[in-house]
Every structure is written in structure tokens, then in C-alpha cells.
Amino acid sequence: MNLDHTEVAQRLEQLTELSVLLSTSHDIPLLLEKILNVAKAMTHADGGTLYRVSGDKKSLCFHISINDTLGLHQGGANGESIAIPDIPLFNDNGEPNTSAIAAYVANTRASSNIDDVYAEAGDFNFSGMRRFDERFGYHSQSVLTVPMQDHEGELIGVLQLINARHRRSGEIHPFTETDQRFIEALASQAAFAITNQQLIARLEDLFESFVKLINLCIDEKSPHTGRHCEHVPALTMMLAEAAHKTEAGPLAAFRMSDRDRKQLWLAGLLHDCGKITTPVHVMEKSTKLETIVDRIHTIDTRFEVLKRDAQIRALEEKLAAAGNRDCHAETLIDSRLQQELERLDADREFLRRANIGAESMSAEDQSRVQKIARYRWTGPDGKEQAFLNRDEVTNLTVRAGTLNPAERKIINNHINVTIRMLESLPWPKHLQKVPEYAGAHHERMDGKGYPRGLRGDQMSVQARAMAIADIFEALTAQDRPYKKANTLSEALRILGGFKQRNHIDPDLFDVFIRQKVYLEYARRFLDAEQIDAVDESRIPGYVP
């Protein structure tokens, strides 16, 4: 059957439309179904099957099967499930399977066009097709089978069409050479596009695996913060989704596409990637005096020296008093010694408590450290010296946490490293905001955050959401060596203080509480004993 100009034009238009779809859609199952339907429409085929190569490349799997006369639609994006066995590409002895026509085409990469399978089966085994005909009362006749291979000869699948029909009479006739050439062109174009999309998907998988590898390295370096890189992106997405669903208030216009979600998730995974360069002794500093070891034990020894010296002085005073036979003096000496020993023990217990990082150290406690530092003791070299040196005083008077100003500067530098690492990557268009989202989670609404001192109006909603997630995760984390995990109500009280001090976005904070994002996160990630009753009316900065 020869094609008129109108038919040729229609087929070219169908190829063009499919080409556009192949270049814009990323839904491979939907594309494969579209490919089969276009092939059927182009050749007026009554039925068609699309096979895909199995992961181990040893068989062809039925992916979609459609038959108009029988009203069958199995597999693909919209069809019923397929319960048809795969077609092996190799025999038991390892040789290519050439008896099944689809396997033959797959192995030889050559198309097969059979006018009548019942009249000219040749060496092919059409028993499966004949069983199908018997089961459904159908009659398969003309069969066109075409390999789908990309520009490198890699087999993607096999396209098979059944029973070409005359476009006017509906009479079944053989597929023409023109039909075959059009379908081969379609199959080649489709295979190339699908290969590109699979390559993109594999590259994205590779990149996500690389991101997870970085987090694994951070985890191995500091197991105490390993779950942070896992929990922050999860909480960020929870809060961003809650903001996305908000229909009233300042965030009513905020919406995210799937691409927006993708880059926010990646930014969450990478938000602390710069910590890979942070020294372990800073990341793992569990007490204020810890370096390689906790130096509080050295200070304990000094207290023992002071107590020993006090006892020696008391004994010497008693010897002098005994010569004068002054019993009252000995009683006073014992009393003074006991008071001094109790004071030293109290000071030692105080420094032990001060050595443990807390949310805040009072000015009175900092002054007490300075006072103790002025005690005098005699070291192993026999020289008298201050009880605490300058470095010990600096560490023991750290107001919050365990890091002194120099160490805080070191660990804060991780965000600068994160930004430099992320900005050095050639991000594709749909991921170009990853550095901005990840690099701003330590900024503050009042512009006093770091590293760039951005104000709230200079940051995206996504970056502000990540800032809240980063703080709340740290407040509730059970794996920090320098602090205990807060309960849910304690963490919300502290977070409310951040809101009142204009550190975090007040609108997102409101969504965080009102939409109970905190509770969703707690149920997924917190220990049961941390999840206490929350009275939202008592959360600072929140108006129910």
C-alpha cells in the first residue's frame, strides 16, 4: 500500500510531536506508552507490545501490551498489571535465543516484518502468540518487530506491532517497507531520548550518592553529629511543605514545585558539607577543658595539692601550739582547716560543673572562676603560680556550650567552606539555588548571623526554613557529647526565645507551631521520653 502525501505528512507530524515530548518529559513509563501508541497510530496497527531489557540483560520483559479489538491495555503508566513471563535472550547453553521473534530481533539488532505468522513462521516459534489467539478468539497475522537501540548500539527494548489495518476498510494487511522505516526511525529516536534520560537519572543518582558519601565521611569523623546531616533536611522539608500548604497570612503565596523540592532537599543534605574540613578535636569537644583529654583531671590534682598544703600548714601550726600547750589554739586550727578543705571541695565541684557546657553561664559563675584562678599553688617545678592559667580561664568561662572564641571561629568557618565548595560546582539550572539555601542557615533575621550578615528580607523562605530546622534539630539531638537532649517542650521554649530575639523567621515559626511540624518531627525522630506534653500557649513568642 502506497502512502499519499497527506499520510506522510501526518506521520512526520506525529514524529515531530513525539520528538518534542521526548525532549521535555522525564516520565519514562509515560513516554514508553506514548511511543507505542504513536507507533500503532502511525501504522494503523490493531495491537502492539513494548519490551524492555531486564537489568541483567538476560531477558526481555513485557512492559506494555495494547490490543484495540480486544480492549486490552496491560502495563505501562495506565494499564493493568502484566502477568506474562519474560522472554529469555539466551538458551540454556548460553547461545542467543533466535526462536522467539522478539529475542531474535534483540540479539541481531535487525527488524523483522512478517506478512502472516500462520503462513510463514519459518524458524520462529509463535506458540505463545497462537495460545493468545486461542484464549481470546483473536487472529494474529502481520507482525512488525523493531529493535530500540541508541546511537551506541545499546539495546533499550523491542517494539512489536500486530495486524496493520487499512485506514478506511479496516482490512488486515502486511506492514509495508515504509511502515518499517518510519517505525525504525521512531524506535531509534525514542531509544536515544530514553538513554539520555536514563543517563541523567544515573548522574543524579551518582550525585546523591556522592552527597551521602560526604555525609558518611562527616559521620565517621564525628559520630556525635552524624544524624544531624540526615535530620535537618527532613525537618526542613516538613516545614517548607507546611508553608507550601498555608493559605492565609504572610506565607500564603509561597509555593514549591517538584524542582524546588529537589534542590531544597539537596541543600539540606549538603548544608554542613564544610565540616569535612573542621578539626576533630573541635567537633568532638564535649567539655570546656577537653583537648586530647579532659584537663579537668589536672585541675583536680591541683586541688589535692592545695588540700595537702593546707593540712601540712595545720600540722605545723599544731606543733607550734603544742609547745605553748595551747589547746584552744589547736581547736581553732582544726576548725580553719575543715573550713578550708570544704571550700576547696566546693570550688572543685563548681569547676567540674562549669566544665560541662550549658545553655548559658551566669556572670556570677564567670566571676567565681576568675576568683579561683587567683589561688596560688606550687607546681612540680617548685615554683608558685596561679591556680588556673589564662587558657583554662578562657575555656571555663565560655558562656554557652563548650567552645572558646577561637574554636567557635574554627567551627563557624565550616559554613564558609560549605559555600565555597557548593559555589565551585557547575550546578544545572534547576539546582542553582542549592548554594544559597545551604549557605544561609546560620544567618539571622536581624542581620547579625554569619557568614554574610544577611537580613531576613535578603534570604529566601527556604533558607529561613533551614535555619529553624538546624536550630531545632540541635536542641533535640540525643547524640551531642556536650549537652543533654532537651524535651519537646524545653526545645520549643528555647526556640521561642530565638523568635523573640529576632533570630528566626516569625512567620515560619508560627507555621512550625500552628501546623504542629514539631510534633510530626518528634514522632519520627525523637526518643519517646523526650516527647512530653506541650502547652502551646506557654511557648514564648507564639500567639495561639
DSSP 156-212: EEEEEEEEEE-TTT--EEPPPHHHHHHHHHHHHHHHHHHHHHHHHHHHHHHHHHHHH
Q: Tell me if 291 is assigned to some domain.
A: no
Same-domain pairing of 277 and 300: no
Q: Tell me if 339 is assigned to some domain.
A: yes
Mean pLDDT score, 230-243: 95
Same-domain pairing of 132 and 163: yes
User: Residue 185's closest CA among 29, 26, 43?
Assistant: 43
Span of 160-164, 227-231, 441-445, 448-452 with lowest mean pLDDT = 227-231
Q: Tell me if 519 is assigned to some domain.
A: yes
pLDDT number for residue 483: 66
Question: Which residue has better confidence, 301 or 225?
Answer: 301
Q: Tell me if 267 is assigned to some domain.
A: yes
Q: Tell me if 204 is assigned to some domain.
A: no
Q: Tell me if 217 is assigned to some domain.
A: no
Q: How many angstroms separate the CA atoms of 20 and 38, rounded?
A: 13
Same-domain pairing of 183 and 246: no
Same-domain pairing of 167 and 45: yes
Q: Which of 401, 424, 457 is the last residue of a domain?
A: 401
pTM value surpassing 0.95: no
Q: For residue 80, what are the CA distances in angstroms to 72, 74, 76, 414, 420?
A: 9, 4, 8, 52, 50
Q: How many angstroms separate the CA atoms of 218 and 314, rounded?
A: 55
Q: Which of 368, 401, 434 is the last residue of a domain?
A: 401
Residue 415 in contact with residue 442, Cβ under 8 Å?
Answer: yes
* Domains contained in the chain, number: 3
Q: For residue 405, what are the CA distances in angstroms to 97, 399, 452?
A: 72, 10, 18
Indicate which CATH number applies to the domain containing 124.
3.30.450.40
pLDDT band for position 471 (cuts 50, 70, 90) = very high
Q: Which residue has 565541684 as its cell numbers?
A: 349
Same-domain pairing of 372 and 422: no
Same-domain pairing of 439 and 512: yes
Q: Tell me if 307 is assigned to some domain.
A: yes
Q: Which of 383, 401, 419 is the last residue of a domain?
A: 401
Mean pLDDT score, 24-33: 69
In this predicted structure, the answer to whether residue 400 has a pLDDT above a threshold of 70 is yes
Same-domain pairing of 300 and 423: no
Sign of CA dihedral 278, 280, 283, 288: negative
Q: Tell me if 289 is assigned to some domain.
A: no
Sign of CA dihedral 211, 212, 217, 218: positive
Indicate which CATH number applies to the domain containing 229.
1.10.3210.10
Same-domain pairing of 181 and 81: yes
pLDDT number for residue 525: 93
- Which range among 44-53, 352-361, 417-426, 464-473 has the greatest average pLDDT? 464-473
Same-domain pairing of 390 and 414: no
Same-domain pairing of 121 and 52: yes
| 483: containing domain | 222-281+406-538
User: Residue 463's closest CA among 434, 490, 486?
Assistant: 434
User: Residue 468's closest CA among 541, 533, 376, 407?
Assistant: 541
Average pLDDT, the chain: 87
Same-domain pairing of 375 and 249: no
In this predicted structure, the answer to whether residue 109 has a pLDDT above a threshold of 90 is yes
Same-domain pairing of 464 and 335: no
In this predicted structure, the answer to whether residue 273 has a pLDDT above a threshold of 90 is no
